[in-house]
Amino acid sequence: AELRKASKRLSCHKRYKIQKKIREHHRKVRKEAKKRGHKKPKKDPGIPSAAPFKEELLREVEQRKQRLEELKQKQKLNRQKEHEKKRKLEAKKNAATVKEKAEGKESSGKSKGKTKKPLNKNSKKSFCRELMKVLEASDVVLEVLDARDPMGCRCPQLEQAVTSSGGSKKLLLVLNKIDLVPKDNIEKWLNYLKKEFPTVAFKSATMMKDKTMEQVTKRHARVDFSETSQYFGSKCLLKLLQGYGKTQDRAIQVGVVGFPNVGKSSIINSLKGKRACNVGLTRGVTKSMQTVHLDKQTKMLDSPSIIADPSNSPLALALRSIIDPEGSDSADVLEGVNAIINHCSKQQVMMHYNIPDFRDPEEFLSLLAQKRGMLKKGGVPDIENMAKLVLCDWTGARIKYYSQPPGFQKPPPYLTEQKIAEMQEGFNLNNLEQENSNTVQALKHPSPASSIAFQSAGMTNGTIEENKVIEEGSERENMETSKEEEEEEEEEFTESDNDEDDVEEEDDDDIREVNEAPGFALVSLTHDFLFSGNERSRSLSFSLDKPADEDDAYDFNTDYV
């Protein structure tokens, strides 16, 4: 038989006894506290109004307070330097241990035999490898462009790779997000781009129901899904792809490529009619090649984003989402926002954000931070976080801006007339033009007055070959050697500063004395003034004759003029 646990129940006599003891203990504690009583803090007597040299005394007290504040600030900075030094030393030690472990693993790996390391899915090399898989497997490549800056979304390296691949590989341009651009601007861009590649006007769905999502009830029938899941241009694109498939007499694979946040996965979801691919505002949602079957004859291949070359301008890097607002350094984010604001119409930016005139992008960010209540301690505008928000707005689909196509048509060097004819072969271009005009007419477009005029930086260079990618980790390793020298210099500097620590300790004692008994300090000052004689008067005259730059204390003489 199993032993039963002992019951925790107490008899009433025992429970009441415990409660009585607790009450007695509390009573005793209260009684002792009452006997001790509360010591009142000594009141600061201050300087009597009848005392001579009162103004000079007050000024000296103020100066002394200021000196103590400066000392505190200096000590705080020294403490921060020490913490930073310790952190760097620890980081150095950790890096050394990691390096030793890696070397040990490499040596053991060499003895066992050479094995290929699997690439990290989030690495740039992995993205390039998956992108090349999509390009090689595709019969038709859709290069997705943001209608607000179509030229900036084109990648010459990608277009050259597709056009020079040989065979019957085709390249189509998909002009997405046409609902964010004025109507006449869209028509200009369609006329410009169709002379180089067949171009489809498209508006993808911004929110799609998941495969597993239940149907919306009648009560919530009006909510978001009806409007946000509307998409335009999908029928036109499907007809174009199916028509090309019939000319080939076989099933075709269509690869969807482009820079981050242009709407690659959203286009596939719109063609499928439901959420088949994950979508997001941040870079790297799609990490590998994904296959989606539209029908028996058409298969869509989703790809990771094109990696932009670091040699591009700050404007191109900012708008192509290469500068990640969350992960990047605040200096890079600020540089990106500066480039964006400098390439926009100032009046339209002021009207859009409803802020007064500003001299530079930094003042623009501070005004916007004050308007939206993004303030640090002490009411200082939080410029860094405001810059991140502005960059997120411009890389997402929140801001309506537009750029004008170039004044004259100058195809890139890799696009000859023969290549342009090859790319247009197999597509019904007349039907495509008619469908594009219908799509543009069906949509509601913003007016030029409510949009922001923007100056494009031209095509954005990208890296599509794996061997040309420079990972961030390798860049850091190259920079380590230069950083080590700086750290050594800092160590020497901190050693030379150790001599000043003794002086600072003495100053600490002064601070403690003043903080403990401010009243007595004032009394001692009055005593010094009354009985110090000529020496004191000389020092006073010397301190009064100091220029304003040397003595920052408040001038009390102004109150008595």
Q: Is residue 293 part of a domain?
A: yes
Q: Is 292 helix (H, G, I), strand (E, B) or coil?
A: strand
Q: Say what angle helices 234-248 and 429-442 make with each other, to 10 degrees.
A: 170
* Pairing state between β 462-463 and 252-257: unpaired
What are the φ/ψ torsions at residue 412 (nearest 5 degrees)? -60, 160
Structure tokens at 119: 């690439």
| Cβ–Cβ < 8 Å for 289, 305 | no
- Same domain as 413, residue 445: yes
Instruction: Give the mean pLDDT of 128-142.
Output: 88
Q: Is residue 481 part of a domain?
A: no
Q: Is 231 helix (H, G, I), strand (E, B) or coil?
A: coil
Q: Which of 261, 232, 265, 236 is CA-nearest to residue 444? A: 232
Distance CA 459, CA 403 (A): 13
Q: Which of 307, 283, 271, 309 is CA-nearest to residue 174? A: 271
CATH code, domain with 426: 3.40.50.300
| Cβ–Cβ < 8 Å for 556, 55 | yes
Residues 44-85 have pLDDT tens digits of: 778 888 888 888 888 998 999 999 999 999 999 999 999 999
| Distance set, CA 413 to CA 158, 170, 174, 371, 421 (Å) | 14, 18, 22, 48, 15
Residues 262-309 have pLDDT tens digits of: 888 888 888 888 887 877 666 667 777 888 888 888 889 988 888 888
Q: Which amino acid is present at 11?
A: S
Distance in Å from the first CA to the final CA of the chain: 100
- Same domain as 153, residue 271: yes
- Same domain as 349, residue 448: no
- Same domain as 265, residue 331: no
Q: Is residue 217 part of a domain?
A: no
- Same domain as 381, residue 233: no
- Same domain as 281, residue 253: yes
What are the φ/ψ torsions at residue 416 (nearest 5 degrees)? -90, 170
Q: Is 453 helix (H, G, I), strand (E, B) or coil?
A: strand
Distance CA 1, CA 3 (A): 7
Query: Mean pLDDT over all residues of the chain?
Result: 77
Lowest mean pLDDT, pick from 37-46, 387-396, 410-419: 37-46
Sheet with 140-146, strands from edge to edge, namely 199-201, 170-176, 140-146, 252-257, 298-302, 290-293
- Same domain as 347, residue 201: no
Give Cβ neighbours of residue 107 (< 8 Å, ≥ 6 apart).
none
Structure tokens at 18: 């415990």
Q: Is residue 274 part of a domain?
A: yes
426-447 in b/e burial notation, b at 16+ Cβ within 10 A? bbeeeebeebbeebbeebebbe
State residue 211's pLDDT score: 43
Instruction: Give the mean pLDDT of 344-352.
Output: 89
Distance CA 57, CA 349 (A): 55
Distance CA 301, CA 141 (A): 9
Q: Is the pLDDT of residue 537 over 80?
A: no
- Same domain as 332, residue 346: yes
Distance CA 264, CA 284 (A): 12
State residue 325's pLDDT score: 65
* Pairing state between β 307-308 and 298-302: unpaired
Distance CA 229, CA 208 (A): 6
Distance CA 83, CA 231 (A): 55
Lowest mean pLDDT, pick from 60-74, 108-122, 282-296, 521-535: 521-535
Structure tokens at 100: 């030793």
With cut-offs at 50, 70 and 90, classify the pLDDT of residue 224.
very low
- 292 DSSP β-pair partners: 300
- Same domain as 440, residue 318: no
- Same domain as 427, residue 288: yes
Transcribe 326-385 into DSSP letters: TTS-HHHHHHHHHHHHHTB-HHHHHHHHT----SSHHHHHHHHHHHHT-B-TTS-B-HHH
Handedness of CA 539, 540, 544, 545 (dihedral sign): negative
Higher per-residue confidence, 219 vs 257: 257
| Cβ–Cβ < 8 Å for 138, 244 | no
State residue 530's pLDDT score: 46
With cut-offs at 50, 70 and 90, classify the pLDDT of residue 323.
low
| Cβ–Cβ < 8 Å for 302, 127 | no
Lowest mean pLDDT, pick from 23-27, 412-416, 540-544: 540-544
Structure tokens at 431: 């039907």
Q: Is residue 63 part of a domain?
A: no
Question: Within a 10 A sphere around the Cβ of 114, how many other Cβ atoms?
Answer: 6
CATH code, domain with 362: 1.10.1580.10
- Same domain as 278, residue 424: yes
State residue 520's pLDDT score: 45
Q: Which residue has 């999908």 as its token pair?
A: 234
Q: Is residue 382 part of a domain?
A: yes
- How many domains does the chain contain in total? 2
Containing structural domain, residue 173: 121-208+227-310+404-453
Q: Is the pLDDT of residue 560 over 50?
A: no
Residues 248-265 have pLDDT tens digits of: 888 889 999 998 888 888
Give Cβ neighbours of residue 240 (< 8 Å, ≥ 6 apart).
172, 198, 200, 427, 428, 432
Q: Is residue 91 part of a domain?
A: no
What are 525-528's contacts with CB under 8 Å, separation 24+? 525/47, 525/57, 525/60, 525/61, 526/47, 526/51, 526/57
Give Cβ neighbours of residue 43 (< 8 Å, ≥ 6 apart).
519
- Rg of the chain's alpha carbons, rounded to an integer? 36
Transcribe 511-527 into DSSP letters: HHHHHH-HHHHHHHHHH
Q: Is residue 161 part of a domain?
A: yes
With cut-offs at 50, 70 and 90, classify the pLDDT of residue 100.
confident
What are the φ/ψ torsions at residue 422 (nearest 5 degrees)? -65, -40
- Same domain as 387, residue 430: no
With cut-offs at 50, 70 and 90, classify the pLDDT of residue 122.
low
- 381 DSSP β-pair partners: 375
pTM: 0.60
